Amino acid sequence: MPPRPPLLRIIGNESRLRILLALAKHLSDSLTVYKIAKFSGLERKVIRPHLRKLVEAELVQAKTYGPIFVYSLNKESTPVQRIMELFNDSRLLNEAPAPLICYPMRQAPRFHGLFDQASNVS
């Protein structure tokens, strides 16, 4: 079997395709590794090395805001445009999971009783 071209080696991995699909679904936004993990279903420790390869292949752009990295698709790249066409033709963008809604956390309830009674005894 002849060796695969470099681009096929990059996008031939399921994890990288899931990352590209998550970024394509949120094309207007830049995503952190945490958000990519939520949208792709992959663990953060798995995503980081794959993102590094996608950035090296110039399929994904990385920007830093202090200690935070955000990632987005490189829309000017011809391979990314073709991948987007493939996602649209196969309707993968419609099947990608919708963004998760984050609700503010409630405060934990205070427990009254045993500890309050012990402090009142003395």
Structural domain includes residue 75: yes
pTM above 0.75, yes or no: no
Band of residue 95 on the pLDDT scale cut at 50, 70, 90: low
Q: Is the dihedral of CA 107, 113, 118, 122 positive or negative?
A: positive
* Domain of 24, in residue numbers: 6-96
Structural domain includes residue 56: yes
Band of residue 100 on the pLDDT scale cut at 50, 70, 90: very low
Structural domain includes residue 101: no
Residue 13 φ/ψ, nearest 5 degrees:
-100, 130
Pair 19, 52: CB distance under 8 Å: no
Per-residue pLDDT tens for 103-121? Answer: 454 555 555 554 555 545 5
Q: Output the domain CATH number for residue 32.
A: 1.10.10.10
Structure-model confidence comparison of residues 67 and 1, the more confident one: 67
Structural domain includes residue 103: no
Interatomic CA distance for residues 56 and 108, integer angstroms: 44
The size of the chain, in residues, is 122
Structural domain includes residue 104: no
Region 13-38: what's the mean pLDDT? Answer: 91
Structural domain includes residue 109: no
Tokens representing 16? Answer: 């990288």
Domain count, the chain: 1
Q: What's the pLDDT at 104? A: 52
